[in-house]
Amino acid sequence: QVQLQESGPGLVKPSETLSLTCTVSGYPISSGYYWGWIRQPPGKGLEWIGTIYHSGSTYYNPSLQSRATISVDTSKNQFSLKLSSVTAADTAVYYCVRRGAFYYVAYWGQGTLVTVSS
Amino acid sequence: ELVLTQSPGTLSLSPGERVTLSCRASQSVSNNYLAWYQQKPGQAPRLLVYGASTRVIGIPDRFSGSGSGTDFTLTISRLEPEDFAVYYCQQYGSSPYTFGQGTKLEIK
């Protein structure tokens, strides 16, 4: 059973960089699939941030491409998100996910709320 | 960007009723690459259907997806108490891969 768990600071100051890590259990990232991040502002809808393959190949939502970086550490079975120059608009629950055969989400982490505030 | 519009925003229904949720796309969804998710308060979404009509293993057969092109629906044949939640559609036929704004099913 694939399980994903997000970790990282729950509070980030404006203009700083948001950093989150997802630890995967039950499946080696190096075995395949695309892994990624989706966010959901409080009370609002869902937004793909991007994905990464174990080889390092990435996809980013064009709206966030200039600020988002996703990386993978197969030795720790983890992948990470960095989002730079954050503002209050980046306040959201961030989910780490595993993609299905295409860009739908087969597995979700429980989500972690990140608040951007001074 | 392909925009998905879900209607209605909120539905008030009773257990046992049949419901059809609508998801309309601003342009044709490539290969009918459309998924449906259920989200309960404080939980992550759960995948119900992908490819417009393929139900995920373990999802009750009262859930069914249909549609093609720009018009898609999710039908729940007989509402159970645990079905009251927010439902999202998502297209993955063209980047950026977008979600609808959701339809909330609430108990009447």
**Are B45 and A108 inside 8 Å of each other by CB?**
yes
Query: What is the pLDDT at residue A52?
Result: 94
Set of chain A residues whose Cβ sits within 8 Å of the Cβ of B33 = 102-104
Confidence of residue A36 (pLDDT cuts 50, 70, 90): very high
Per 3-state DSSP, chain A is made up of helix, strand and coil in percentages (nearest 5) of 5, 50, 45
- In chain B, the percentage of residues whose pLDDT exceeds 70 is 100
**Are A62 and B33 inside 8 Å of each other by CB?**
no
pLDDT averaged over chain B?
96
Which one, of B46, B34, B102, B83, lies nearest residue A111 by Cα?
Answer: B46
Statement: residue A100 has pLDDT above 90? no
Query: What is the pLDDT at residue A2?
Result: 94
Average pLDDT over residues B51-75: 97
Residue pair B60/B83 in contact by the 8 Å Cβ criterion: no
Q: Which one of A95, A104, A109 has the shortest CB-CB distance to B35?
A: A104
- Of the listed ranges A53-57, A91-95, B34-38, B72-76, the least confidently predicted one is A53-57
Tokens standing for residue A66: 């200039």
pLDDT averaged over chain A?
95
**Are A61 and B96 inside 8 Å of each other by CB?**
yes
Tokens standing for residue A92: 């959201």
**What is the 3-class SS of chain B, one letter each residue?**
CCCEEEECCEEEECCCCCEEEEEEECCCCHHHCEEEEEECCCCCCEEEEECCCEECCCCCCCEEEEEECCEEEEEECCCCHHHCCEEEEEECCCCCCCECCCEEEEEC
Residues of A with CB under 8 A from a CB of B: 45-48, 59, 61-63, 95, 100, 102-106, 108-111
Residue B71 bridge partners (DSSP): B24, B68
| pLDDT tens digits for range A39-88 | 999 989 999 999 999 888 999 999 999 999 999 999 999 999 999 999 99
Tell me how crowded residue A96 is: count the other CB atoms within 10 A of its CB: 30
- CA dist B51 and B63 (Å) reads 14
